[in-house]
Amino acid sequence: MPEKPVYLACDVHLGATPRAMEAAFLGWLAQVPGVASRLVLNGDLFDFWFEYRRGVPRGHERVLGALRAIVDAGVPVTLMGGNHDWWGGRYLREVVGLEFLQDPVVRIYAGKMTFLAHGDGLGRGDLGYRALRLLLRGRVTRWAFAQLGPDVGGLVARGVSNTDERWGEPTQDDRVRAAALAAWARAKLDACPELDLVVLGHTHLPQLTEVSPGRWYLNPGDWVVHRSYAVLAEGEPPRLLTWAG
């Protein structure tokens, strides 16, 4: 019997996502143990996440409990750090039980050799963000931010987040960024013939493209607007779906 499929989602942005979308996501998580062999969350599960010595951001207890329940049911959960939640660590790994990643990986999912990355900093353009990313992920910056504590740090993060600007139709900048990532994915597949699938997120725009026979670029989309996710089943093309409850 083939394994149950792999379920993928990204860009949920918990803490900034509209309440209806967050409730829908929790409903989607509830059905994962019965239908999936693995859950992959490809970045920006949280609109802000930083692990402090004195605690972690508050307000995510329900989703963290749901993820722990999935792990306890025997379904591994992988969380890729995104540009909003790259600063995870021991709490996610040891308390919640997630496989928490901070760099792109190549894994076999449902028989498909898969390159997995959140997507920030990849592709043409976005030069300003690339420079900022080096600063934000530097050891000194992380140490300084840790001194603020969860409450002050959360206020600072909410002040610079632009998630609330993405609750409507995609802007021209969004489409340009999505096109740049799609072009990067096609080039990655051309350069790495062993790959069957490139999975990115970050753009909030769902996309599934067969670049060449049996080889795909997949972006699962987001839960800020689309409630979209992807399913990988062995021996089948990837599927891009919308959660209707």
Choose between 143 and 3: higher pLDDT. Answer: 3
**Cα-based distances in Å from 30 to 36, 66, 106, 112, 182:** 11, 7, 27, 26, 31
Q: Where are the alpha helices (DSSP H) in 73-210?
A: 90, 127-136, 139-146, 149-160, 172-191
Span 96-115, pLDDT tens digits: 999 999 999 999 999 999 99
CATH classification code of 6-242: 3.60.21.10
Domain borders along the chain are: 6-242
Average pLDDT over the chain reads: 87
Q: Is the pLDDT of residue 226 over 70?
A: yes
Average pLDDT over residues 109-135: 79
224 vs 143, residue with greater confidence: 224
* pLDDT > 90? residue 65: yes
pTM above 0.95, yes or no: no
Q: Beta strand 239-242 with 6-9: parallel, antiparallel or unpaired?
A: unpaired
**Nearest-5° Cα angle at 187, 208 to 220:** 25
Per-residue pLDDT of 167-198, as tens digits, reads: 667 778 888 889 999 999 999 999 999 999 99
Residue type, 24: A
**68-77 pLDDT, tens per residue?**
999 999 999 9
Please give the share of the chain, as a percent, with pLDDT higher than 90. Answer: 62
DSSP state of 110: T
pLDDT value of residue 17: 85
Query: Which phi and psi (to 5°) does residue 12 adopt?
Result: -85, -35
Convert the pLDDT of each residue in 133-150 to its tens digit: 655 666 666 656 565 656
Supply the pLDDT for residue 152. Answer: 57
Distance CA 41, CA 13 (A): 11
Go through the chain and tell me how many residues it has.
245
Contact 109, 38 (CB under 8 A): yes
| Closest CA relative to residue 157, chosen from 48, 60, 55 | 48
The residue behind tokens 């901070």 is 102
State residue 127's pLDDT score: 57
